[in-house]
Structure 1
Amino acid sequence: MTDVMSRRIVFQGMGVLGIAVALAGCGGSSSDEAGDPDTSPPVTAGSELTTTDEVPVGGGIVLADAGVVVTQPTDGEFKAFAAVCTHQGAALDAVGSDGIECPLHGSRFSIDDGSVTQGPATQSLATVPITVDGTKILVA
C-alpha cells in the first residue's frame, strides 16, 4: 500500500511541477507585459514595395506580405508605416476614409504621419523609410 501511495504522490508532484513550468513559460518578457508589440516590418533596404499607381491619393494600401502600409496623403507624396497595431500587435488590414484601420479593437492611424486618431492604441505607427524611383516605391 505504501508503494502505491508513494507513486501517487510522485505523479501528483510531477503534475504540479508541469503546471508550474507551463505557467512560467507564459510569463512573457517585460515588453509583452507593457503591451509593446514588435512593430518592425520584415523588409530590407532596396526591396520594392509597390508602384505609385497602386496607391490611391488620399488613401493607401496594406502590403501584408511586406508588413507595410503605403499611403499617399496628397498627390505625389508617399509615406510608409509598419502594418502592426501598436496596441496589441494585430496586423493592420485596411486603409479607409478615416485612416489606417486595426480590425482587432478599432484603433485608427493617420495616413499623413501614422499618429493615433482613435484608440485604444496610444502610440504612433513605426515609420518605414521609403524612396520613389520613377513609379517604384522602394524601402530606403
Structure 2
Amino acid sequence: MTTSPTVSRRGVVLGAGVAAAAAAVAGCSTYGAEPAAPAPAAPGTAEPGAPIPALAKTADVPVGGGVIVGDTVITQPTPGNYVGLSSTCTHAGCTVTEIQDGAIDCVCHGSKFALDGTAVAGPAKKPLAAKVVRVEGDSIVAG
C-alpha cells in the first residue's frame, strides 16, 4: 500500500509566506541592472556652469505690482527693488492668484498681502515666505 503525503494548513501558509518573501527580495535585486540615471535638476536650478533660467524679465514686473511664476511671486514695490515670495498663502495653503491694486490676493478666503509679503487683510496673519531672487542683466533669477 502506498501512502500519500499530507500537508497541513500551517505548512501551506508558511510556504506561501516564504515564496512571497523570496519574490519580494528577487524583485528588489539590482544585480546586473544598469545604474539609474541621475535625477534631473529641480526647476529653477541649473547644472554647474550652465546659465540659470530666468523666472521673469525685469520689464514684465511693473513698479507697484508683480507677477506670479509657478510657485514664486515676484514684486517690485519700488523701482529696481525686486522681492521674491512664496505663492503659498499662510492661512490655509492655497495659492495666491493675482496681484492688483498694490496687493497680492488669495481668493480662497480673502487674504491680502503687501508687495513685501506682509499680511494686510485676514484671515492670514503671517507673511508670505521669502524666496531669494536676483537680477542678472534684464532677467530675474532664483537664488
Partner Cα separation in structure 1 for residue 71 and residue 90 of structure 2: 13
Q: Of Structure 1 and Structure 2, which has the larger fraction of its residues in helix? A: 1
Give the counterpart of 2:98 among 82, 88, 94. Answer: 94
SS of 1:89's equivalent in the other structure is coil
8 A Cα contact 1:43 1:67, kept in partner: no
Which residue of the partner structure matches residue 35 of structure 1? none
Which residue of the partner structure matches residue 29 of structure 2? none
Partner Cα separation in structure 2 for residue 98 and residue 91 of structure 1: 18
Letter in 1 for 2:95: A
Structure 2: gaps spanning 5 or more residues: 1-42, 47-51
Partner Cα separation in structure 1 for residue 75 and residue 53 of structure 2: 17
Partner Cα separation in structure 2 for residue 137 and residue 50 of structure 1: 5
Which residue of the partner structure matches residue 54 of structure 2? 48
Q: Percent same amino acid at aligned positions?
A: 39
Shift of 1:98: 4.2
TM-score (norm 2): 0.63
Structure 1: gaps spanning 5 or more residues: 1-41
Instruction: Give aligned pairs, total.
Output: 96
Max Rg structure: 2
* Structure 1 residue ranges (4+ consecutive) displaced by more than 2 angstroms after TM superposition: 42-47
TM-score (norm 1): 0.64
